Amino acid sequence: MKKVNIMLGTINDVKIFVNTVAKYDFDVDLVSGRYAIDAKSIMGIFSLDLSKKIELQAQTENCDAFLAEIKQFIVD
């Protein structure tokens, strides 16, 4: 499993992010506080507090291409 923090600041960011994640076969979860949602669910993402960092958990070890595609959303 690979973990990184992301920020989704706009509605367009969420749309681009979900479309990118949907291309991959492995599971990707977003964790914010006590909530964990499927990153492929646009409605689930909008239920999170998007003003804060969100932890992304990619359920695979080989996700370099995926992380390269979402690098614009990754924060420290």
Q: What is the pLDDT of residue 2?
A: 95
Q: What is the pLDDT of residue 12?
A: 97
Q: Residue 7 is which amino acid? A: M
Query: What are the structure tokens assigned to 16, written together?
Result: 């681009």
Tell me if 31 sits within 8 A of 39, measured CB to CB: no
Tell me what the mean pLDDT of segment 1-18 comes to: 96
Please, which residues have CB within 8 angstroms of residue 60's CB and are 6 or more apart in sequence? 1, 2, 26, 66
Q: Residue 46 is which amino acid? A: F
The closest of 61, 51, 63, 73 to 24, measured between CA atoms, is 63
Q: What is the pLDDT of residue 70?
A: 96
pLDDT tens for residues 10-69?
999 999 999 999 999 999 999 999 999 999 999 999 999 999 999 999 999 889 999 999
Q: Is the pLDDT of residue 76 over 90?
A: no
